[in-house]
Amino acid sequence: MSFTIAVAGKGGVGKTTLAGLLVRYLVEKGETPVLAVDADSNTNLNEVLGLELPLTLGDAREEMKKGQSMGMTKDLFIEMRVNQCLVEEKGFDLIAMGRPEGSGCYCAANNLLTASLDALSDNYKYIVVDNEAGMEHISRITTKKVEMLFVISDPSRRSLTAAARIRDLAVEMGVLTGPCHLVLSMVRNEPPQALLDAVKEMGLELAGILPDDEDLASQDLAGEPTSRLPLDNPVVKRAFEVFEKTVSSQ
Ligand SMILES: Nc1ncnc2c1ncn2[C@@H]1O[C@H](COP(=O)(O)OP(=O)(O)OP(=O)(O)O)[C@@H](O)[C@H]1O
Ligand SMILES: [Mg+2]
215: CA distance to ligand 1 center in Å? 13
Burial class of 215 by CB neighbour count within 10 A (0 to 12, 13 to 18, 19+): middle
Given this model, what pLDDT does residue 84 score? Answer: 92
Count Cα neighbours of 4 within 13 Å in the Cβ-side half-sphere. 22
Ligand 1 mutation pick, 7, 16, 46, max ligand atoms within 8 A of CB: 16
* 235 Cβ below 6 A of ligand 1: yes
* 203 Cβ below 6 A of ligand 1: no
Single-letter code of the amino acid located at 102: G
Determine the average pLDDT of the residues in 12-39: 97
* 76 Cβ below 6 A of ligand 1: no
* 207 Cβ below 6 A of ligand 1: no
Q: Which residues are paired to 89 by β-bridges?
A: 92
pLDDT in tens, 30-60: 999 999 999 888 999 999 999 999 899 888 8
Given this model, what pLDDT does residue 41 score? Answer: 87
* Whether the Cβ atoms of residue 148 and residue 3 lie closer than 8 Å to each other: yes
Given this model, what pLDDT does residue 99 score? Answer: 82
22: CA distance to ligand 2 center in Å? 14
Given this model, what pLDDT does residue 229 score? Answer: 98
Given this model, what pLDDT does residue 101 score? Answer: 77
Query: Which range has the worst mean pLDDT, 102-116, 152-166, 176-190, 199-213?
Result: 102-116
Provide the residues around ligand 2 (an ion) whose CB is within 5 A: 15-16
Assign 72 a pLDDT band (cuts: 50, 70, 90). confident
- What domains appear along the chain, each with residue ranges and CATH number? 3-246 (3.40.50.300)
Identify which ligand lies nearest to the alpha carbon of 45.
2
* 185 Cβ below 6 A of ligand 1: yes
63: CA distance to ligand 1 center in Å? 32
pLDDT in tens, 157-186: 999 999 999 999 889 888 899 999 999 999
* 154 Cβ below 6 A of ligand 1: no
Most confident of 80-84, 99-103, 107-111, 232-236: 232-236
Assign 140 a pLDDT band (cuts: 50, 70, 90). low
User: Does pLDDT of 224 surpass 70?
Assistant: yes
CA dist 81 and 79 (Å) reads 5
> What is the number of the ligand 1 atom nearest to the C-alpha of 12?
23
CB under 8 Å to 232, separation ≥6 — which residues?
A: none
74: CA distance to ligand 2 center in Å? 31
User: Does pLDDT of 204 surpass 90?
Assistant: yes
Q: For 217, left (φ over 0), alpha (ψ -120 to 50), or beta?
A: alpha
Ligand 1 mutation pick, 7, 10, 17, max ligand atoms within 8 A of CB: 17
Given this model, what pLDDT does residue 135 score? Answer: 62
